């Protein structure tokens, strides 16, 4: 980027909201996938939708690449900056513009934190269902970009199932408005198309979210198993029975060790895996389903099954699960968070094969996943200072993705493709299908300036420089949960 362009860009915002010094840019060099780092030419911090629109139109006129970014918790390099481009940081667009309990909707700006929506709706007996593990810090704009899920996506679906309307500025500078407060749509599902675009179409400015009544009653069970396969088979049995829990999660022994170290969680001793199952809904329904679930858990022969006796115990169970990703940093200086999907009926087999591959690679793998929908999150531990360790970790991560596709699953469940998985896209899609995706992207962004280099296979190598926790995590400034 030339100096005159930088100067004109800087003039668009008040002092303090245009960052270009190296120490200012350091925090924006990577997202949650800290193995990849790129320094942008500048970071701009708009505070209004009009400022975002003006910035995007400037980028289009100057053919200047831009990356929209919220809290940077994405785990596939999706918000990795582009060399010679800018980052448009959206955290100050953090207003809940409208909360209508009668219509059960919230209209929010992209920088609103996920959990803040539920907290604002709680006084009306409502909540926002998608709950990524990073929900206490991740933003709705990022959730829309990556179609985030969470522990309760088994019952309630992904972000796309809860976005009713969007106002967005496309990469061309055109402002569009799709959908609205109604749950009935007419014509093409533009909101569904935009959700999960990974920032390749433009930037969401206002998002209309569906709110749901908070469950009247919860029944949360933690069951410990001698093997991962037993835990996976228990999940298959519950789903096959017709029960639809709010959430079903599995953590293996290594993930349990990390959670104990991080938040002092208590788990049954001598277990290779823990299964968390949560029922929720009307009191009478949960009471009936509870009896069926308890019988099935008992039939799966756990080492121990512990139902939460009160809200405090339920919170403790979920705190251990939601701390697992960041907690693994206590066990290893470096780790790769992988994300793939396998059919539920093959969960046990997939976990066994991951264990075998890890042993062959001489690496440890902590498994944490949304068991109800087969979404695996193997955490591959390695020491980047050891010669060849990173290469072995990356090879193992790739082998896990290939296994997922071979089993009839997907290379991503909720983390997106970003830069991490773009070379694996042809494993799932034909050349014709990928070409169709490229042409669709070009319809929204003919110049290819919105988050370039992401999702699609390319010969360009990302800047692989840093491993382990982000510098701000090490400093205790942020927590990725």
Q: List, for residues 432-478, the tens digit of each pLDDT value.
A: 999 999 999 999 999 999 999 999 997 454 444 444 454 444 444 33
For the segment 173-185, the average pLDDT, to the nearest whole number, is 93
For residue 324, what pLDDT is reported? 74
pTM for the model stands at: 0.89
Tokens of 208: 């209309």
Contacts 24+ apart (CB under 8 A), 358-365: 358/396, 361/392, 361/393, 361/395, 361/396, 362/392, 363/389, 363/392, 363/393, 363/396, 364/254, 364/331, 364/332, 365/254, 365/396
Q: Determine the Cα–Cα distance for residues 354 and 368; give it in Å rounded to an integer.
A: 12
β-pairing verdict for 340-341 and 375-382 = antiparallel
| Percent of the chain whose predicted confidence (pLDDT) is above 70 | 95
Instruction: Please say if the pLDDT value at position 74 is more than 60.
Output: yes
**Mean of the per-residue pLDDT values of the chain:** 91
| Percent of the chain whose predicted confidence (pLDDT) is above 90 | 73
Q: In the Cβ-directed half-sphere of 380, how many Cα atoms lie within 13 Å? A: 30
For residue 326, what pLDDT is reported? 73
For the segment 412-421, the average pLDDT, to the nearest whole number, is 93
For residue 461, what pLDDT is reported? 42
For residue 314, what pLDDT is reported? 92
Q: Which of 79, 121, 115 is nearest to 100 (CA)?
A: 121
For the segment 232-261, the average pLDDT, to the nearest whole number, is 89
- The residue whose two tokens read 């069970």 is 221
For residue 473, what pLDDT is reported? 45
213-226: per-residue pLDDT in tens? 999 999 999 999 99
The answer to whether 223 and 304 have CB atoms below 8 angstroms apart is: yes
Q: Determine the Cα–Cα distance for residues 125 and 367; give it in Å rounded to an integer.
A: 34
The greatest distance separating any two alpha carbons of the chain, rounded to the nearest whole angstrom, comes to: 71
First to last CA, the chain: 36
Of the ranges 108-122, 162-176, 180-194, 460-474, which one carries the lowest mean pLDDT score?
A: 460-474
For residue 329, what pLDDT is reported? 78
The answer to whether 128 and 122 have CB atoms below 8 angstroms apart is: no
Distance of alpha carbon 425 from its chain centroid, rounded? 18
């Amino acid at each position: 980027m030339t100096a005159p362009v930088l100067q004109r860009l800087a003039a668009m915002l008040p002092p303090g909201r245009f960052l270009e010094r190296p120490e200012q840019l350091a925090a924006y060099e990577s997202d949650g996938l800290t193995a990849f780092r790129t320094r942008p030419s500048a970071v701009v911090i708009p505070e209004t939708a009009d400022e975002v629109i003006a910035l995007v139109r400037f980028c289009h006129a100057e053919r200047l690449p831009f990356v929209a970014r919220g809290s940077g918790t994405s785990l596939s390099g999706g918000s990795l900056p582009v060399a010679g481009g800018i980052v448009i940081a959206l955290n100050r667009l953090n207003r809940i513009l409208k909360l209508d309990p009668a219509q059960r909707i919230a209209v929010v700006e992209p920088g609103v934190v996920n959990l803040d929506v539920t907290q604002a709706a709680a006084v009306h007996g409502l909540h926002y269902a998608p709950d990524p593990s990073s929900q206490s810090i991740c933003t709705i704009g990022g959730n829309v970009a990556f179609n985030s899920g969470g522990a309760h996506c088994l019952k309630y679906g992904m972000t796309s199932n809860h976005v009713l309307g969007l106002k967005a500025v496309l990469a061309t500078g055109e402002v569009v408005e799709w959908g609205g407060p109604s749950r009935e749509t007419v014509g093409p599902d533009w909101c569904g198309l935009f959700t999960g675009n990974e920032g390749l179409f433009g930037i969401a400015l206002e998002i209309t979210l569906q709110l749901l009544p908070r469950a009247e009653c919860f029944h949360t069970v933690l069951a410990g198993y001698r093997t991962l396969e037993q835990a996976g088979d228990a999940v298959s049995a519950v789903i096959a029975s017709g029960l639809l829990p709010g959430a079903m999660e599995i953590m293996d022994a290594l993930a349990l060790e990390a959670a104990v170290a991080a938040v002092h969680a208590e788990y049954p001793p001598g277990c290779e895996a823990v299964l968390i199952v949560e029922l929720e809904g009307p009191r009478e329904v949960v009471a009936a389903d509870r009896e069926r679930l308890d019988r099935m858990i008992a039939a799966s022969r756990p080492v121990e099954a512990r139902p939460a006796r009160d809200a405090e115990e339920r919170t403790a169970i979920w705190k251990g699960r939601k701390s697992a990703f960041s907690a693994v940093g206590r066990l290893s200086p470096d780790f790769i968070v992988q994300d793939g999907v396998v059919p539920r009926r093959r969960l046990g087999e997939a976990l066994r094969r991951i264990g075998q591959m890890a042993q062959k690679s001489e690496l440890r793998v902590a498994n944490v996943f949304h068991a109800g929908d087969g979404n695996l999150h193997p955490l591959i531990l390695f020491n980047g200072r050891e010669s060849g360790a990173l290469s072995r970790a990356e090879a193992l991560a790739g082998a896990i993705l290939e296994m997922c596709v071979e089993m009839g699953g997907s290379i991503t469940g909720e983390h997106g493709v970003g830069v991490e998985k773009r070379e694996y896209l042809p494993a799932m899609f034909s050349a014709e299908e990928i070409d169709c995706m490229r042409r669709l992207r070009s319809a929204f962004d003919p110049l290819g300036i919105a988050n370039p280099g992401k999702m699609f296979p390319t010969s360009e190598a990302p800047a692989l420089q840093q491993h382990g926790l982000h510098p701000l995590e090490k400093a205790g400034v942020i927590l990725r949960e």
